Amino acid sequence: MRRRDLKPGQKYGRLTLLSKAENKPCWLCRCDCGNEKVIRSDAIGIRTFSCGCYGREVLEQQHKRKLRQKYKDLDSNKDSEYYRLYHTWGHLKARCYNPNNNVYDLYGGRGIGVCDEWRNDYQKFKDWAVANGWRKDAKGMEQSIDRIDPNKDYSPENCRWTDASTQALNKRSAFLINVNGETHSITEWSRIRGVDPSVIRRRYHKYGMRGEQLFHPIPRSVRYADRNTVVFHGKEVPVVDLCREYGISDATLRYRYKQGWRDDKLVEKPKHKPVIKMEYEGKMYSISELCKNFGFKETTLRRRHARGLDVYGNKIAG
C-alpha cells in the first residue's frame, strides 16, 4: 500500500491532525471530545478514529443494554411482579436436590424430584403457573404449589396452586405441635400467635424449644449455649464482659472470633470506611448500591473514584 500523505487539518473520524511528531511516525491529533493525543500515523483512520472516547462510549452502551436485560426482564429482580414465583421455583428445586435444605428429607430424600421440563427451564414453569391459576396479587404464604399425589414429582400433571390451609390438610402427615393442650400446624400457630412460621420452625428444630417458649425470643443462654466465653490473652473471658469493656457489639465480637481474630485485634473498635458516592444516570449512589443494583465491581469503582473518573472511567466534566 502506498504511504498516505497526512497533512495538518485532515480529519479521520473524530480526530483532526495537528502536527507531525519529530523523529517519530506519529501525529499529534485533537479529538472531537477535546482531548489531544499522539497517535501512530499508520493507525490514524485505520484502527484509530478517536482518542479512545468512542470505544468507551460503545462499552458504556453495551453495559447499559446488558443491565437493562438483566434487571428489567428477569423475574429474579425484586421489583418484578413475578419475583415470588421465581423464588417458588428456586425453593422447590432446592427441596428436591439440595441435601442442605432443611426439608430435603421430606422431598429429595424421599425420592421426590422436579420434572426435567421445569427443572431446567424457569420459563416453562412460569408459563404453566400463569395458565393454571397462579395469582400475581397473592402474598407470601397465601398461595403455594401443591402436589396432588404427594408421592409423585413436581410436574404439570401433578401440581396445582392452592391456598395455604388446603395444602396443610393434604400434606402426607401434617407436622403438628401441641402447646398447652392445643394442637395446630406451624402455619396455623403462626397465624394464631403472630409469629413468623420460619421463626417457630427454627426455635423448634434448631433450639429444641417446646410449648409456650416457641412464641418468645430465644434466651441468650440457649442461643449461645455452646459459646459464652472466648479466650482473650490466654484467659477464658465472658463475651458479655469484653463487649461492655471495649464497647463492641456482641454480634461483631462473635463474628470476629469465628473468623479467627484474637486478642487486641478482636476488641479493636471497628473502623468504618467512608461512604463514597458516585453519580449514575443523574443520581448519586454509594458504591455498594451501585454494585448491588447495577452490577458494577467494587474495586473498579473505587479505582475510578480515586482517579477522579466517573463510573464508566470517563473524566468528569468541569
Question: Which of residues 45 and 197 has its CB atom nearest to Zn ion in the complex?
Answer: 45
For residues 59 and 176, which CB has a smaller minimum distance to Zn ion in the complex? 59
Q: Is 35 in the site for Zn ion (CB under 5 A)?
A: yes
Part of the chain binding Zn ion (CB under 5 A), chosen from 47-55, 71-79, 116-124, 207-215 = 47-55
Q: Indicate whether 43 belongs to the interface with Zn ion (CB under 5 A).
A: no
**Residue number with CB closer to Zn ion (31 or 230):** 31
Instruction: Report the sign of the C-alpha dihedral through residues 48, 49, 53, 56, in that order.
Output: negative
> How many residues bind Zn ion, per CB under 5 A?
6
Handedness of CA 227, 231, 237, 240 (dihedral sign): negative
| Of the residues 17, 48, 50, 167, which one makes contact with Zn ion according to CB under 5 A | 50
We find the least distance from the C-beta atom of residue 14 to Zn ion, in angstroms, to be: 6
Work out which of 18, 28, 43, 53 binds Zn ion, going by CB under 5 A. 53
Cβ-Cβ contacts under 8 Å for 107 (sequence gap 6 or more):
95, 96, 101
| 75/310 with CB nearer Zn ion | 310
As measured in angstroms, the least distance from the Cβ of 57 to Zn ion is: 9
Q: Give the x/- contact pattern for Zn ion in 7-26, rule: CB under 5 A.
A: --------------------
What DSSP state is assigned to residue 244? H
Integer Cα distance of 318 and 309 in angstroms: 12
Identified binder of Zn ion from the candidate list 15, 17, 29, 31, rule CB under 5 A: 31
Adjacent-strand bridge partners of 231: 236
Beta-strand ranges (E) seen in 5-142 are: 11-12, 15-20, 26-31, 36-40
Q: How far is the C-alpha of 167 from the C-alpha of 67, rounded, in Å?
A: 39
Instruction: Determine, following the binding rule CB under 5 A, whether residue 190 of this chain makes contact with Zn ion.
Output: no
Supply the minimum distance, in Å, between the C-beta of residue 309 and Zn ion.
14
Distance between CA atoms of residues 305 and 266, nearest Å = 31
Residues 6+ apart with CB under 8 A from 314: 53, 56
- How far apart (Å, rounded) are the C-alpha atoms in residues 237 and 253? 12
Shortest Cβ 47–Zn ion spacing (Å) = 15
**Residue of 15, 29, 39, 51 interacting with Zn ion (CB under 5 A):** 51
* Residues found near Zn ion in the complex (CB under 5 A): 31, 33, 35, 50-51, 53
